[in-house]
Amino acid sequence: MNGILLINKPKNHTSHDIVAIVKKISKEKVGHTGTLDPNATGVLPLLIGKATEISKYLVNHDKTYIATIKLGIKTDTADAEGTIIEKREVPEYSEEEIENALKKMLGKQNQIPPMYSAIKVNGKKLYEYAREGKHIKLEPRQIEIYNIKLIQVNKQECEITFEVSCSKGTYIRTLCENIAEALGTIGYMKELNRTKVGEFSIENTVKIEDIKNNENLLKENIISIEEFFENGPKIELKDVELNLFLNGVILNKNDLSNNLYKIYNQNKFIGIGIAKDGKLKRDVILQEN
């Protein structure tokens, strides 16, 4: 079984929890392309079997989220799981003022990751330092906010819900704190739902509980490697060339442009090859020699 499975991750499950469940059911190697916090929900692409080798083509995907900010309260983790460290009165805001604050977040910018994150420094995760009461100086990272829009304002609960499309590496918890700051107050991320990863949308996901109750759903919902690269160019290799290719021999293919190619033999999908400077070499292979 080789392919991509799109899970709609529920709350109170780590990404590792979901991987372990699918690994047990599929009896294959399983990985993911980026964690979701235990309290977050939404699209979690899992790579099964040989598809773990295509993770390099998914990790840089842009993402879309729907998030809710709780204004007037700051926590040490910047989300609902943390300890409250500050409270403030929340002024009245018009929708126009909130929309203006959101617009200030658009574009390329430097963002400092939160201390409660899985980023490693000297082989140790940041949240491990944070739990020890240690603060590590972090360098800002460039991110980009492509689109952001207001969805709902709950004045009674002092909450704002918005949708954001952003680049890889964007921390929505930090973004929520920045939005609150732009409004002249403090806040934390109360809810987070990832609705899109690259071209993978939440409408195409399956629930992990449904798979546990009906294991056939795993096979029915898997996206094959061939399907994932369906819009890419393909090349047919004859038996002699295929044998060389599968044994790691780099083929001379001056007629090919620099690109990824779907490799076929007698119309059977073999895997993915990389063409560069007139040379074709193997990348992800489903059929070994």
Nearest to 128 by CA among 116, 112, 140: 116
Report pLDDT for 36: 83
pLDDT reported for residue 23: 93
pLDDT of residue 139: 73
Spatial distance between the Cα atoms of 21 and 7, rounded to a whole number of angstroms: 11
Side chain identity at residue 111, one-letter code: Q
pLDDT at 34 over 60: yes
| Residue 19: strand, helix, or coil | helix
For residue 286, count other CB atoms closer than 10 A to its CB: 18
229-285 homologous superfamily: PUA domain (2.30.130.10)
Widest distance between CA atoms in the chain: 75
DSSP state of 258: S
**pLDDT for 269-284, tens place per residue?**
999 999 999 999 999 8
Q: Do the first three CATH levels of 63-197 and 229-285 match, i.e. the same topology?
A: no
Residue 212: which H helix or E strand, with range? helix 208-213
d(CA 183, CA 35): 29
Pairing of strands 259-265, 234-236: parallel
The pLDDT value recorded for residue 114 is: 66
Q: What is the pLDDT of residue 64?
A: 97
Could you tell me which residues are beta bridge partners of residue 69?
Answer: 160, 189
pLDDT at res. 65:
97
CATH code of domain 3-61+199-226: 3.30.2350.10
Residue type, 275: A
pLDDT over 70, % of the chain = 91
Of residues 46 and 12, which shows the higher confidence score? 46
Q: Is the pLDDT confidence value at 119 over 80?
A: no
Nearest-Å Rg of the Cα atoms of the chain is 23
Instruction: Give the count of beta carbons closer than 10 Å to the beta carbon of residue 210.
Output: 13
Q: What is the pLDDT at residue 33?
A: 82
Distance CA 189, CA 186 (A): 11
User: Alpha-carbon torsion 149, 162, 47, 249, what sign?
Assistant: positive
Question: How far is Cα 107 from Cα 116, in angstroms, rounded to an integer?
Answer: 25
* Confidence band of 136 (pLDDT split at 50, 70, 90): low
Question: What CATH number belongs to 63-197?
Answer: 3.30.2350.10
Confidence of residue 116 (pLDDT cuts 50, 70, 90): low
Quick one: pLDDT at residue 56? 87
State residue 112's pLDDT score: 76
Model pTM score:
0.88
- Quick one: pLDDT at residue 288? 62
Q: What's the whole-number average pLDDT of the chain?
A: 89
According to DSSP, the residues that pair with 65 across neighbouring strands are 164, 194
Alpha-helical regions (H) of the chain: 15-26, 95-103, 126-131, 172-182, 208-213, 216-221, 225-228, 239-246
What span, in angstroms and rounded, lies between the C-alpha atoms of 46 and 245?
A: 28
> Is pLDDT above 90 for 166?
yes
Gap between the Cα atoms of 242 and 265, Å rounded: 7
Average pLDDT over residues 172-184: 95
- Is the pLDDT at 95 greater than 90? The verdict is yes
Least confident piece of the model among 94-108, 133-147, 150-164 = 133-147
Which of the four pLDDT bands, split at 50, 70 and 90, describes residue 20? very high
Tell me the one-letter amino acid at 77. Answer: T
**Residues carrying an active site annotation:** 37
Residue position matching structure tokens 């499309």: 165
* pLDDT > 60? residue 130: no
- pLDDT tens across 57-90, in order? 887 789 999 999 999 999 988 998 888 999 999 9
Please name the amino acid found at residue 118: A
Domain residue spans in the chain? 3-61+199-226, 63-197, 229-285
